[in-house]
C-alpha cells in the first residue's frame, strides 16, 4: 500500500487529457486525498504534446514530484517524452492501438490496454480517456463508485445516456486491468482521512478572494496564465450585480480599474508580464492620484512573449520598479492557493487603506497548478476601507469655489477619500503634481511635501500584511537557510524535509511581502544560518539581488536559478543544498 504516488496522462492537446486528470482528481479529492496537479501544455489550441501530472497523497503536499509511478499514454510521443520520469517498477498504461514500446534504458512495465477499442465498444472513441481513468483506478485499488457523482455532475447537461456511457467506459477499463492483467499491489493507496477539502488552481482562489473582498468590477485582457481569473468572475459577478469588461488592451484594463476605484467600487485587473509592461504608466497614475488599484500578475516565461505557457519568476523587478518616477506601491506574493484567497482579500484592504496600487504576484505554477485547499473560512474575511468617507456622512459645506482637501497632509500621509457623487466633496484628481485639493502646483515646497506624504505612507515595512515572511526556521544556527517566493514553497518544504532526515539543520524563509521589503525579518534569518540558498525561477537572481540590496549581507547568499520553463523539483533543491554544504558553492 502506498502513502503517495504520481500519475500522469499524456497525449495530443485536445484528446481529453485535462478532463481525465480532472475527473480522477475530483473523485480522489472527495475521498479525502491530498492532490497537486500540474499541466504541461503548449501555446497552441489543438495538437502538440500535453500532459497533466497529478500527485496523490494521504498527507499534505504542495509540490510536483520528482518521480512518476503511473504514466498513461495516448501516443508513443507521450511515452518517449515522459517515461524517463518513471520509478523503477513504474507502469506505462498505454493504448494498445499504437503498438506502444518502452524506450531503451527505461525499466517500466508496459500495460497495453485497448483504450480506444473499448471506448468504441462502449460507443465513442473519444471516451478512451475514461477507459484510461478506469484502468488507472484498478491500479490504485479504488472502485468505480467514487466516480458516479463526479461523472453525473460533469455530464448531467448532456443527458443520462452520456453519464451512463462514461461510467461504463470507466468500469470497462477497470475490469480489463483486473481480469487481463491482475492486481498490481504496489500502487494501491492507503486509505485517506476522508475529510472534505477543496481542490482549485491559484487563479480560482484569487478570483474567489476578489469576490469575497467585495470586488464587483474586473477589467482585463485575456492572457495566459491569468485568464481563468476573468473567466471565473464573468460567470459569477452577475449574481452579485457586478461585471467583467473584456477590454481592448491592458492599458484600457488598468485605467478602467483606476476609474472604477476612483468611483468607489473595488475593482481589479489581472495579467501576465507583457500586460504588466503595458500597464506601467497607469500604475504610476494610480500612485500619483492615490487611487486604490489591485493588479494580479501571474508571471510566466519572459522576456517579450517568451514562454507563454511555462513557469518563470522573472517579473519581480518589473513589479517593484517599472513605473517612472517614485510612487508608493505594495507587492505581495502568495505561495499557495489558500494564500491566494486570503491575500487577495488583504490586497483590496491594503489598496484602500494606503490608497495606492497593490500588485498580487503569482506565477504560472501557482496560477494553474491545482492543489488541495483546506476549507476556506468565512469568518476570516475582513473588509477594511481605510479613510474612505461613507455615503451617509454629511460633509461640511464648501465655501465659494473651495475644494475638499482630498490630498490633505496628515500624520500618516493618508488623506480622507471622498467619492465623486458625494455632496461637498468636490476636488480635482490629476497625475500632475498637485496641492491638497488636487489642483496643479509646481511649488517646490508643495512638491517636496507631497512626495514625502505619498512615499511616507509605506515608509515602514510593517503595513499590517499578516505574514510578510513565512518562516519554518526552527534552528538558531542552521546549516542552510533556503529562501524563496511564490509557488516554490511546497517544493522547498519537501527538500527541507529530506535534508532534515539526514540530520542537517535547515531553515526556510518564504518572502510574501516584496514591497515594502521586510528587511529586519529576512536579515535576522540570514544571520542565523551558515549558508543561504535563494531559489528562484529566473536567470539573473532578481530576488537574491533584492535581498542583497536591502540586507547588505550579500556575501552569504547563493543564487539558485532555473529558467528552462519548468518548476523546481524537490530533488533539485535538495541536491543544490548538499552541494553548497559540501563544496561551499553550487
Identify residues 156-215 at the interface with another protein (CB under 8 A).
196-200, 204, 208, 211-214
CA dist 333 and 327 (Å) reads 19
- Kindly state the smallest distance separating residue 67's Cβ from another protein, in Å: 28
Among 110, 146, 389, 426, the residue binding another protein under the rule CB under 8 A is 426
Q: Contact between 424 and another protein (CB under 8 A)?
A: yes
- H or E segment to which residue 445 belongs: helix 444-456
- Kindly state the smallest distance separating residue 245's Cβ from another protein, in Å: 7
- Kindly state the smallest distance separating residue 38's Cβ from another protein, in Å: 18
- Kindly state the smallest distance separating residue 332's Cβ from another protein, in Å: 20
Identity of the residue, 70 or 215, whose beta carbon is nearer to another protein in the bound complex: 215
Identity of the residue, 245 or 529, whose beta carbon is nearer to another protein in the bound complex: 245
318, 324, 328, 330 alpha-carbon torsion, rounded to 10°: -10
In the numeric block, the cell 484528446 is attached to 15
- Kindly state the smallest distance separating residue 262's Cβ from another protein, in Å: 6
Identity of the residue, 79 or 205, whose beta carbon is nearer to another protein in the bound complex: 205
- Kindly state the smallest distance separating residue 212's Cβ from another protein, in Å: 6
Q: Map residue 248 onto helix, strand or coil.
A: coil
DSSP alpha helix (H) spans, 141-226? 145-155, 160-176, 202-212
Identity of the residue, 84 or 423, whose beta carbon is nearer to another protein in the bound complex: 423
- Kindly state the smallest distance separating residue 199's Cβ from another protein, in Å: 6
Binding to another protein (CB under 8 A) within 232-251 occurs at: 236-243, 245, 247-249, 251
The answer to whether the beta carbons of residues 75 and 97 sit under 8 Å apart is no
CA dist 298 and 334 (Å) reads 11
Binding to another protein (CB under 8 A) within 463-522 occurs at: none
- Kindly state the smallest distance separating residue 399's Cβ from another protein, in Å: 11
Binding to another protein (CB under 8 A) within 297-336 occurs at: none
Query: Which residue in 499, 500, 501, 519 sits closest to 509, CA to CA?
Result: 519
Query: Which residue in 335, 81, 345 sits closest to 94, CA to CA?
Result: 81
Binding segment for another protein (CB under 8 A), chosen from 186-194, 305-313, 431-439, 575-583, is 431-439
Among 105, 325, 421, 503, the residue binding another protein under the rule CB under 8 A is 421
- Kindly state the smallest distance separating residue 248's Cβ from another protein, in Å: 4
Q: Contact between 381 and another protein (CB under 8 A)?
A: yes
Q: Contact between 383 and another protein (CB under 8 A)?
A: yes
- Kindly state the smallest distance separating residue 553's Cβ from another protein, in Å: 39
- DSSP secondary-structure letter at 399? -
Binding to another protein (CB under 8 A) within 25-64 occurs at: 29-30
Cell of 350: 491594503
Identity of the residue, 79 or 201, whose beta carbon is nearer to another protein in the bound complex: 201
In the numeric block, the cell 485639493 is attached to 437
Determine if the peptide bond prior to 225 is cis (ω within 30°).
Answer: yes
Among 117, 428, 449, 475, the residue binding another protein under the rule CB under 8 A is 428
CA dist 580 and 480 (Å) reads 9
Q: Contact between 443 and another protein (CB under 8 A)?
A: no
User: β-pairing, 370-373 with 34-40?
Assistant: antiparallel
Among 86, 137, 253, 529, the residue binding another protein under the rule CB under 8 A is 253
Backbone angles phi, psi at 204, to 5 degrees: -60, -45
| 12 beta partners | 49
> What residues have CB less than 8 Å from 288, skipping those under 6 apart?
325, 327, 430, 431, 433, 454
418, 422, 425, 426 alpha-carbon torsion, rounded to 10°: 110
- Kindly state the smallest distance separating residue 444's Cβ from another protein, in Å: 19
Q: Contact between 113 and another protein (CB under 8 A)?
A: no
Distance between first and last Cα of the chain: 38
Q: Contact between 405 and another protein (CB under 8 A)?
A: no
Q: Contact between 257 and another protein (CB under 8 A)?
A: yes
- Kindly state the smallest distance separating residue 520's Cβ from another protein, in Å: 33
CA distances from 77 to 18, 70, 72, 81, 88 (A): 17, 16, 12, 6, 20
42, 65, 175, 168 alpha-carbon torsion, rounded to 10°: -40
Identity of the residue, 79 or 256, whose beta carbon is nearer to another protein in the bound complex: 256
Map residues 261-300 to x or -, x wherever contact with another protein holds by CB under 8 A.
xxxxxxx-------------xx--x---x-----------
> What residues have CB less than 8 Å from 365, skipping those under 6 apart?
38, 64, 311, 486, 487, 488, 567
Binding segment for another protein (CB under 8 A), chosen from 88-96, 252-260, 459-467, 535-543, is 252-260
Among 87, 112, 146, 419, the residue binding another protein under the rule CB under 8 A is 419
Among 47, 103, 159, 440, the residue binding another protein under the rule CB under 8 A is 440
Identity of the residue, 29 or 507, whose beta carbon is nearer to another protein in the bound complex: 29
Buried b (16+ CB within 10 A) or exposed e, 560-575: bbbbebbbbbbebbbe
Amino acid at each position: 500500500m502506498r502513502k503517495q504516488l504520481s500519475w500522469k496522462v499524456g497525449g495530443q492537446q485536445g484528446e481529453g487529457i485535462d478532463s481525465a486528470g480532472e475527473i480522477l482528481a475530483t473523485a480522489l479529492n472527495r475521498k479525502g486525498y491530498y492532490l497537486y496537479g500540474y499541466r504541461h501544455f503548449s501555446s497552441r489550441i489543438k495538437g502538440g504534446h500535453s500532459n497533466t501530472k497529478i500527485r496523490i497523497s494521504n498527507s499534505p503536499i504542495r509540490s510536483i514530484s520528482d518521480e512518476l509511478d503511473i504514466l498513461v499514454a495516448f501516443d508513443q510521443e507521450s511515452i518517449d517524452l515522459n517515461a524517463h520520469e518513471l520509478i523503477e517498477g513504474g507502469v506505462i498504461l498505454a493504448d494498445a492501438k499504437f503498438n506502444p514500446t518502452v524506450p531503451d534504458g527505461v525499466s517500466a512495465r508496459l500495460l497495453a490496454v485497448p483504450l480506444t477499442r473499448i471506448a468504441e465498444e462502449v460507443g465513442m472513441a473519444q471516451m478512451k480517456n475514461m477507459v484510461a481513468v478506469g484502468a488507472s483506478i484498478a491500479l490504485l485499488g479504488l472502485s468505480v463508485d467514487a466516480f458516479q457523482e463526479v461523472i453525473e455532475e460533469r455530464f448531467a447537461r448532456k443527458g443520462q445516456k452520456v453519464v451512463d456511457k462514461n461510467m461504463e467506459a470507466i468500469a470497462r477499463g477497470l475490469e480489463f486491468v483486473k481480469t487481463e492483467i491482475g492486481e498490481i499491489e504496489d500502487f494501491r493507496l492507503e486509505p485517506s482521512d476522508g475529510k472534505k477539502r477543496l481542490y482549485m488552481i491559484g487563479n480560482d482562489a484569487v478570483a474567489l478572494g476578489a469576490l469575497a473582498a467585495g470586488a464587483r468590477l474586473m477589467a482585463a485582457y485575456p492572457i495566459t496564465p491569468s485568464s481563468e481569473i476573468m473567466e471565473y468572475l464573468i460567470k459569477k459577478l452577475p449574481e452579485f450585480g457586478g461585471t467583467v469588461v473584456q477590454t481592448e488592451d491592458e492599458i484600457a484594463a488598468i485605467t478602467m480599474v483606476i476609474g472604477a476605484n476612483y468611483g468607489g467600487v473595488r475593482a481589479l485587473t489581472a495579467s501576465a508580464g507583457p500586460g504588466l509592461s503595458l500597464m506601467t504608466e497607469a500604475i504610476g497614475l494610480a500612485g500619483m492620484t492615490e487611487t486604490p488599484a489591485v493588479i494580479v500578475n501571474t508571471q510566466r516565461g519572459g522576456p517579450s512573449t517568451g514562454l507563454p505557457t511555462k513557469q518563470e519568476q522573472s517579473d519581480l523587478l518589473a513589479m517593484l520598479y517599472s513605473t517612472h518616477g517614485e510612487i508608493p506601491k505594495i507587492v505581495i506574493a502568495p505561495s499557495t492557493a489558500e494564500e491566494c484567497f486570503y491575500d487577495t482579500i488583504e490586497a483590496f484592504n491594503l489598496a484602500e487603506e494606503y490608497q495606492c496600487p497593490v500588485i498580487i504576484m503569482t506565477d504560472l505554477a501557482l496560477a494553474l497548478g491545482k492543489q488541495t485547499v483546506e476549507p476556506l473560512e468565512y469568518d476570516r474575511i475582513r473588509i477594511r476601507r481605510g479613510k474612505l468617507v461613507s455615503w451617509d456622512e454629511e460633509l461640511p459645506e464648501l465655501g465659494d469655489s473651495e475644494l475638499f482637501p482630498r490630498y490633505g497632509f496628515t500624520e500618516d500621509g493618508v488623506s480622507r477619500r471622498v467619492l465623486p457623487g458625494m455632496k461637498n466633496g468636490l476636488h480635482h484628481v490629476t497625475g500632475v503634481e498637485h496641492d491638497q485639493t488636487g489642483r496643479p502646483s509646481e511649488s517646490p515646497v508643495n512638491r517636496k511635501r507631497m512626495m514625502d506624504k505619498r512615499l511616507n505612507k509605506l515608509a515602514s515595512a510593517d503595513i499590517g500584511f499578516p505574514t510578510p515572511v513565512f518562516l519554518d526556521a526552527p534552528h538558531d544556527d542552521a546549516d542552510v537557510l533556503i529562501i524563496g517566493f511564490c509557488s516554490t514553497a511546497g517544493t522547498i518544504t519537501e527538500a527541507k524535509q529530506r535534508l532534515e532526515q539526514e540530520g542537517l539543520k535547515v531553515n526556510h524563509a518564504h518572502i510574501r511581502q516584496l514591497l515594502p521589503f521586510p528587511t529586519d525579518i529576512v536579515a535576522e534569518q540570514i544571520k542565523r544560518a551558515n549558508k543561504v540558498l535563494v531559489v528562484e525561477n529566473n536567470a539573473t537572481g532578481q530576488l537574491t539581488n533584492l535581498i542583497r540590496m536591502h540586507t547588505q549581507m550579500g556575501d552569504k547568499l547563493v543564487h539558485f536559478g532555473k529558467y528552462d520553463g519548468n518548476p523546481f523539483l524537490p530533488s533539485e533543491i535538495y541536491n543544490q543544498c548538499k552541494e553548497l554544504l559540501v563544496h561551499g558553492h553550487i
